[in-house]
Amino acid sequence: MYRSHVLVCGGTGCTSSNSAAIIEALETQIAEKGLSEEIKVIRTGCFGLCALGPIMIVYPEGSFYSQVKVEDIPEIVEEHLLKGRIVTRLLYDETVTADEIKSLNDTKFYAKQERVALRNCGVIDPENIDEYIAYDGYQALAKCLTEYTPEQVIQVLKDSGLRGRGGGGFPTGLKWSFTAANQADQKYVVCNADEGDPGAFMDRSVLEGDPHCIIEAMAICGYATGATEGYVYVRAEYPIAVNRLQIAIDQAKEYGLLGKNIFDSGFDFDPHIRLGAGAFVCGEETALMTSIEGNRGEPRPRPPYPAVKGLFGKPTTENNVETFANVPQIILKGAEWFASMGTEKSKGTKVFALGGKINNTGLVEVPMGTTLREVIDEIGGGIPNGKKFKAAQTGGPSGGCIPASLMDTPIDYDNLTAIGCMMGSGGLIVMDEDNCMVDIAKFFLDFTVDESCGKCTPCRIGTKRLREMLEKITDGKATLEDLDELEELCYYIKENSLCGLGQTAPNPVLATLKFFRDEYVAHVVDKTCPAGVCKKLVKYEIVADACKGCTLCARKCPVGAISGTVKNPHTIDTNKCIKCGVCIDSCKFGAIIKK
């Protein structure tokens, strides 16, 4: 029996900030002090507060240490673990008030969150099936196999109102019923873990923090739809997730929770892992299945839909990781419980990966209908350096953006569609006044041009032309007619592309055009970039009154564009200037401005 458990985040975020070395140091020091029999170190999944990583929590006190360094470990072991004195200086400062230490759940970051898909992340040891079972794991599967008919399982899903979390928002129960209705000698369940949106890491965190829950949900789906084999298609760039998933499958097989005749019900289920090589288009369901079959990842026309003719030509149900993560909870707690959260047509919760210009970069899960303002200002801790919020980009390269004026819109599928945006898979990139919206659109087009598989012309050539038009705008060479053409081409690509990649690729352009047309016009008509990002349109100038003539900028300038004598105002030769920004960063008097 261990008197104390030390949970250290072993998600990708904290691993990259050295949590593996921390765990090693902890184990060594604990052994040195002879505490190995008393204190257990557990590597968990993501806690969500990635900005403060590496994260460590010590029970029974529940002390939440943030940004722990290897050098801090001797102090934590000596003081806290050996002598029971909490090292206050290393605690997450939100939990420390003048006279007491608050519980983590009372901090702003966690208080408004509702964790369903992430409920076990950062709570259990993902490589230990017993801990998953202790937190109700595999009970939902047992309940389905021993108490429910497949039709009843689908009915529970339908009643819960769960919709696909990959971005499409299609009702999950309905999707399952389509596959169930088709007779075939073999059917499949596919889990889409090919999370490709830049800045999105929800699925990775679920797989890393709670892999068993995905496997359990896939088995439930198999029972409900009549499938006996499953595939998890996961990116090879997620080595920790792949590793834990494999461990989870092996453990579940050993316990007889997968394989033949599960719970003596006659139901067989066998999941496999397939690694994706990182092509964005393989996140599209038909391209994903083509890739699993061993072919080049290219989409195929729908219909026939996967429910009729999917993987290897057999009826297939494909769901996203986060969708599956909700399923066991819905079975155990009931459809009504799930439907009590969220808005009228979007039930439950949604996980968002917060990134960009925000203080608390990380992973949050909130009930549907929470406003963007709550997510950004309260949970996210606002924008760093007192800058002003400009917009949030949702849904990555297929999504749109929510401007500051619509920050109070309750976030759900239908509201976001209504304002010309989309839910997407859950990437939420925050932009402040220093971001140029035309540049953002160009960034995402760069991505889709690279990732277009090339099968259909509107996407292959259309996105390339779109990218060129945006470049023309940021170079200050475009006319107002070009803006109209840009919009026309967007709609053409949307209507004529074969798959979701092309159909949604123009969304970042359309959304920024809709909400930030003035920025486009400034680039086109005034030949200026209001945010000072587009290099070809920016001019650097020295304000003579503010310049003290310290010569620092002239010495730093890599191209010798700044001239002047000591103690006299300097000037920048705009023909030589390469707009690298070194002078602005070096000036101590704020005398250099971008125009």
Partner 1 sequence: MKTLAELMAIKEATMQKMTVREDTGDDAIRIVVGMATCGIAAGARPVLNAFVDEVAKRNLKGVTVSQTGCIGMCQFEPIVEVIQPGKEKVTYVKMTADKVAKVVNDHIVNGSPVAEYTVK
Residue (62 or 560) nearer to partner 1, CB: 62
Closest separation between CB of residue 102 and partner 1, Å?
12
Closest separation between CB of residue 134 and partner 1, Å?
4
Which residues inside 369-428 make contact with partner 1, applying CB under 8 A?
Answer: none
Distance of CA 494 to the CA centre of its chain: 24
Closest separation between CB of residue 113 and partner 1, Å?
15
Q: Which of 30, 56, 32, 52 is nearest to 43 (CA)?
A: 56
**What is the SS3 assignment for 230?**
strand
Question: In 125-278, which ranges are continuous DSSP H helix?
Answer: 129-134, 139-147, 150-160, 172-181, 202-209, 211-225, 239-254
Binding-site member from 2, 148, 305, 443 for partner 1 (CB under 8 A): 2
Residue (71 or 264) nearer to partner 1, CB: 264
Is 559 a binding residue for partner 1 by CB under 8 A? The answer is no
Residue (139 or 551) nearer to partner 1, CB: 139
Alpha carbons 238 and 243: distance in angstroms, whole number: 9
Alpha carbons 207 and 214: distance in angstroms, whole number: 7
Binding-site member from 16, 31, 85, 340 for partner 1 (CB under 8 A): 85
Binding-site member from 16, 31, 36, 61 for partner 1 (CB under 8 A): 61
Which residues inside 436-495 make contact with partner 1, applying CB under 8 A?
Answer: none
Residue 528 corresponds to which tokens in the numbers above? Answer: 């200026």
Is 1 a binding residue for partner 1 by CB under 8 A? The answer is yes
Binding-site member from 16, 31, 36, 62 for partner 1 (CB under 8 A): 62
Is 333 a binding residue for partner 1 by CB under 8 A? The answer is no
Q: Which of 193, 190, 194, 195 is nearest to 175 (CA)?
A: 190
Residue (75 or 414) nearer to partner 1, CB: 75
Candidate ranges 79-87, 352-360, 521-529, 576-584; the one touching partner 1 (CB under 8 A):
79-87
Tell me phi and psi for residue 221, to 5 degrees. -60, -40
Q: How many residues touch partner 1 (CB under 8 A)? A: 34
Burial class (CB within 10 angstroms; exposed 0-12, middle 13-18, buried 19+) of 556? middle
Residue span 24-43 as binding mask against partner 1, x where in contact by CB under 8 A, dash where not = -------------xx-----
Which residues inside 93-112 make contact with partner 1, applying CB under 8 A?
Answer: 103, 105
Candidate ranges 58-66, 285-293, 348-356, 411-419; the one touching partner 1 (CB under 8 A):
58-66
Residue (4 or 107) nearer to partner 1, CB: 4
Question: In 433-588, which ranges are continuous DSSP H helix?
Answer: 437-451, 457-474, 480-496, 500-504, 507-515, 517-521, 552-556, 582-586
Residue span 113-152 as binding mask against partner 1, x where in contact by CB under 8 A, dash where not = ----------x------xx-xx-x-xx--x---x------
Binding-site member from 20, 21, 59, 378 for partner 1 (CB under 8 A): 59
**What is the SS3 assignment for 124?**
coil
Residue (105 or 574) nearer to partner 1, CB: 105
Candidate ranges 57-65, 201-209, 449-457, 533-541; the one touching partner 1 (CB under 8 A):
57-65
Residue (124 or 456) nearer to partner 1, CB: 124
Is 153 a binding residue for partner 1 by CB under 8 A? The answer is no
User: How far lies 399's CA from each of 176, 184, 440, in Å?
Assistant: 26, 36, 12
Provide the angle, in degrees to the nearest 10, between the axes of the packed helices 437-451 and 457-474: 150
Q: Which of 183, 189, 214 is nearest to 269 (CA)?
A: 189
User: How far lies 192's CA from each of 273, 283, 430, in Å?
Assistant: 11, 7, 26
Closest separation between CB of residue 28 and partner 1, Å?
20
Residue (4 or 551) nearer to partner 1, CB: 4
Which residues inside 207-266 make contact with partner 1, applying CB under 8 A?
Answer: 255-257, 261, 263-264
| Residue found by looking up tokens 């002003």 in the block | 388
- 102 contact partners, CB below 8 Å, separation of at least 6: 94, 95, 96
Strand 540-542 and strand 188-193: pairing? unpaired
Amino acid at 110: Y
Q: Which of 406, 374, 413, 371 is nearest to 391 (CA)?
A: 406
Helix or strand run (H / E) with residue 592:
strand 592-594
Binding-site member from 83, 98, 99, 183 for partner 1 (CB under 8 A): 83
Contact set with partner 1 (CB under 8 A): 1-5, 7, 37-38, 59-62, 82-85, 103, 105, 123, 130-131, 133-134, 136, 138-139, 142, 146, 255-257, 261, 263-264
